Structure 1
Amino acid sequence: MSLLLMVLALLGALAVLGGGGMVLDRLLREVEGRRGPPQAADGEPAGPGSVGPGEGGYSVLEESTGDGTRASPGVPAPTLARVRELLALGRGVEAVRVMRDETGMDQDSARDAVEDVWRGRLG
């Protein structure tokens, strides 16, 4: 009995989220004055999976360069060099502090960026 109630609650939650997504899409279309599917740059309807301007969201691959490394978003070359130097000396904590102080990143982002430098994925 309780399993049935949990399944019904899950289905209800999915219905609410789906309905909310449709309502949000309709409101955004009205605000932007857009009708129909997203258009490509040449005015033709965009293909499946493509998004129009202002649509979409976060993608893990946004900063990918195609060769397995990521572009260095806002990390100056001298900072990357200093971080590499500190990592070579085994001073990872100081490398994170340098990355945070010189780029304005928060602690977690700086730690992730230093790890990416260490693994050769950044810079």
Structure 2
Amino acid sequence: MKAVALRERLIEHAMDGLLREISLDRANGLLGKTCIHPSHVLPVHALSVVSHEEFSDAKDILRPERGGGGVLRSAYTNKMNEVKPHRAWAERTLLRAEVFGVANADIGFVELLAAGLTE
């Protein structure tokens, strides 16, 4: 499903406001969401799935040999991860992965949302 068609379907199902709210919650450190309608479960779950990149970074940060701290390049080579400051984030990310799962490397939130939208 193309991005424009997906966006139209989300608007049609009044999900655009919910997606914005979930994104703002995550930006503010809130990871949970109460669903008041069954149609909200899919978008909340899809945006809670841990991306492959997040999972990879979290696993690297929490490797036992990293316990002393330091800085390491992300396996995706797009950032540097600091072991001590990012430790709490990595632990929360792995907990989220246990609950919501980890997306494959080539799957993003758009694909997860599109796969679950049905008429």
TM-score, scaled to structure 2: 0.32
TM-score, scaled to structure 1: 0.31
Structure of higher CA gyration radius: 1
Q: Which has the higher strand share?
A: 2
